[in-house]
Chains A and B, each alone.
Chain A
């Protein structure tokens, strides 16, 4: 077993009065893929967004419990959210490249980190694109708008953009839900490749995808963590009846 990277302790989350997460405690290991599954509205995306404090942006929310990364409580008052997010990349459900060139999209993160040396920027951009296996497809049109790429390419570009900031953790919120099967396969391959260097947490409503890419799986239902364990075990011999019902397709 690898070292533990992310730990949540009795994490609860409220949108105003409404409870979205109820006392969730999980331990996610380093350089592994942890998948969150569950029916929509079960709190899995909310949970993912507590891990890089993206929910801070929503007014009127309340959070209880702790999120520890490398034993540091990221909700501690002394923690700098901006620097925290530099260490935690995020890939969104809908690919969201900026209305800039392909090069500028990738260079955005390094630039805001104060890197202005052109050579260095180019190096980072090229490496990032290579690591997401999209370099060959875009190398001839680095100055074209990123919006001209296909959906699958855009999503891989967004992953490359995340890598350019050199994070340790990558959060993925249903990264392939809007993509065709071929693009989805490419993303999955990529995830497999990336987990050599990064701790990956992925939310998905596609159970086959969870089964294919993840090492650990957490099943959420109505804001509660129902079951958490090795992916193979969850999908073959789950402990809880609800989990079994869900993965066998009886509801959700």
Chain B
């Protein structure tokens, strides 16, 4: 048993030396540029809503998010977002467009299993954890804040 484990360890380092590694630095640069560019588009849309419609800096966030997700939906539908994802990595995954893509791609993929058990059940299979832990984290932070304020705060 220990012998087998040793052999496996030896093999893993043998294999590791022959593996093509992720180009981490290059990936970071790409992610920074693409992610930054998506945020720039978001900023342009926000400014557009503030200047041409009756929105303020506080209220323009929601229509901006909706617009970005709409664009993502079209890109995902035409099979372009996954290509962007392969190039940009975290750059296209972290912004809200990445969240949109996770929901939309899953919904499209499982259409063949019907609208209830297919789309309905699987739509959030990738984005679900973001919601679960997002809500949970918000709850914990709110709890800490409340306790802190009740104790007198600063």
A, B bound:
no
